[in-house]
Amino acid sequence: MCGIAGIIGPNPSEEELDKMLRAQKHRGPDHTGSYIDPGYAALGHNRLSIIDLSPQANEPFVDNSGRYYLSFNGEIYNYEELKEELKFFYSFKTFSDTEVLLAAFLRWGKECLQRFNGMFAFSIWDTQEKKLFAARDRFGVKPFYYSEANNNLYFSSEIKALKNVIFDTSPNLKVWANYFSYGSYGMPNETFYEEIYQLPAGHCMEFSEGNLKISKWYDFESAVKKVAENLPFEEVKAQYLELLKDSIKLRFRADVPVAFNISGGVDSSLLLALVNMFEDKKQINAYTFYTGDERYDELPWVEQMIATTRNPLQKIFFSASEVEETTRHIRSLQDEPFGGIPTLAYSAIFKQAQADGVKVLLDGQGMDEQWAGYDYYQNSGSTIQGTGDRSPFRPNVLQKNKKSLAKKPIYPEPFDNKLQNLQYRDLFYTKIPRALRFNDRISMAYSTELREPFLDHRLVEFAFAPPEAYKICNGQGKYLLRELLSEIVPKELSCAPKRPLQTPQREWLGNELRSFVEEQLQQLKTSPAADWFDHEELETEWKRYLAGDASSSFHIWQWVNASLLLS
C-alpha cells in the first residue's frame, strides 16, 4: 500500500513532484522515490513495504530493458500464479508483486488488467514512446486523482497532493449542493473540487502528446451474465464458500504481520470463521471498537464470536471526548466530506494496529451489497442515509441560488429487475465507493494497509447473479450467506440482525458534542462558504434537533464537515 504521484507534459518539475510526495508521505513512510524524464515526465512513489521488503522492490520500478517505469499503489494478490505464467517471458529480479504487474503489462498490454485479482492504482511511463498508461481496480479500492494544468497532466493518490500544492481550486458547487440535498458524494469521475477528477473504478487512462483518453476496462454487467443463473441453492452455497476460502488465502500473502477487524455482524462472523479454517492463521489478532453505549455497541456479539475461536481480541474504547481532536486530524487526511463518528471510531483501530506493529488488516466490507443486506432492498424506499420516515437531508438550509444547483443523481439501471439495479448502484455509485474512500484514508493515515477479501471480483460477480430468493427470504437479507454461516458458527451468530451505526452519534452531537457543533456552525458564518447557507434556517433546524427531532443526525454531520473542510 503506497502513494503514487506524477507530472506528464513539457514542464515536469522535480520540485513540484517532491511537494506532492511530501503531502502524502503518510501513505508510504518506508521509502520515497522519483524518476525524471526531462521535458516529458516525473514519476514519484511513497512506499509502504508489504511484499518483498528489500530495496530492490522500491519504486518507481524499472523493467529489465530500462524502458518502462512503474509507480504502483495496491496489491496484486494472485501475483505468484501470474509469475509462474510469466517466468519464461521475463527474468525476475525481485519477489515483489510490483515486478509481476510490470511484467504482465509487458506481456499482455492493457489486457493484463483482466488477469489481476487485486486492488490497484498504477501508472506506467514508456520512455521510448513517451506515453503514460494508468489504471484503477474494478471497484476503486485504491484512489487515483488527476488534473490538467500548466500544460501538464498531474496525478496522485490523494487530493491534497494536487489541491494547494500544485494549484488552488474552488469547491465544486454542484457536488456540494448534491451532497446537502441528496447525500451524494459525487459521480465516479467527480470530486468536491473543480478541476480535480477521479479516474473511475474499472477504468484506464492513456496520455500522450497532451491527449488524454479514458476508457472502461471492467465490464461488470457482462461478467455477471457469464455466471450460471440457475444453479441449485446448495451448489451456489458450496461454490461460494470455496471462492471465499481462496479469497482469504490470497489476501494473507504478506511479508509483514496481518490481523483483522471485526464487528458483531454476519459478515465479521464469517470472516472470523474463515480465517480460523486455516491452521497457520489461527490465533491471529482481531480488532474492534466500542463506546460503552449498549444501544449501539457490538462488543457483546464480538466477544461471543471470539469465544468460539479464542483469537486474541484488541478492544479499543472510543469516547465522545476524543471526537473533536480525531475529527480535526482525520479531516486533514480525508480531503472531502466523510462518514461521521463511526468513521472516527474505526480510525482508532488503525491507530492501535500501527502502535502494535501490524501493517495489514482485513475487514468485511462488501457483503451487504452482494447479498442484499440492507433494509431498503426489501421496501419501496431506497434511502441511502438515515432512519425513519423523514429525509436525513435538509436542503432548506441552502440559499436558493445554491440549492438550484442540485440535481438528483440518476444512476444506470443495466439489469432487468429492481433488486440488482439497487445493488449495482450501491457497488459502483453510492455505498461501496463512499466506504472505500473513507477507509482508504483512515488506514493510510496510520500507514496501514486495509484489504477487503469480500470484494474479490469473483465473489461479487458470483453473488450478484443468483435469483432474489437466494438473497432475501422471509424478510431477512443475506439469506444464503446466513445459511452458509449457520453450518460453521453457532446459530445465534448466523442470525444476528442488521444493527444501526455502531456509535451514539445522534446522542453525542446533541449532548456531549453540542458546543463543538455550535462552534462549527458559528465558523460557517465567516467561512468562504458563508453565502451558501440561510443561517437563520440552519439555526432553526439545529434547535429542532436539540428539541428531539433527531431521527437522523446526518444533516448535522454535513454542516460540521463543511465547516471543517471549507473554513
256/5 Cα distance (integer angstroms) = 25
DSSP state of 255: S
Q: How far is CA 102 from CA 28, 129, 459, in A?
A: 20, 16, 26
Whether 495 is catalytic: no
One-letter-per-residue 3-state SS of 142-200 = CCCEEEEECCEEEEECCHHHCECCCECCCECHHHHHHHHHHCCCCCCCCCCECCCEECC
- Of 98, 107, 106, 93, the closest CA to residue 79 belongs to 98
Segment (H or E) for 309: helix 299-309
336/565 Cα distance (integer angstroms) = 7
CB 203 within 8 A of CB 217: yes
User: HSE-up of 215 (CA within 13 Å, CB side)?
Assistant: 8
Cell numbers for 547: 428539541
238/236 Cα distance (integer angstroms) = 6
396 three-class SS: helix
Cell numbers for 165: 500544492
Indicate the burial class of 516 (C-beta count within 10 angstroms; 0-12, 13-18, 19 or more). middle
Q: What phi and psi, each to the nearest 5 degrees, are found at residue 288?
A: -150, 160
Q: What phi and psi, each to the nearest 5 degrees, are found at residue 122?
A: -145, 160
Place of cell 452458509: 484
398/537 Cα distance (integer angstroms) = 8
CB 385 within 8 A of CB 284: no
Q: In 419-534, at which residue ranges do the beta strands (DSSP E only) sit?
A: 449-451
State the catalytic residue, choosing from 2, 112, 204, 495: 2
275/250 Cα distance (integer angstroms) = 12
Task: Please give the positions annotated as active site.
Answer: 2
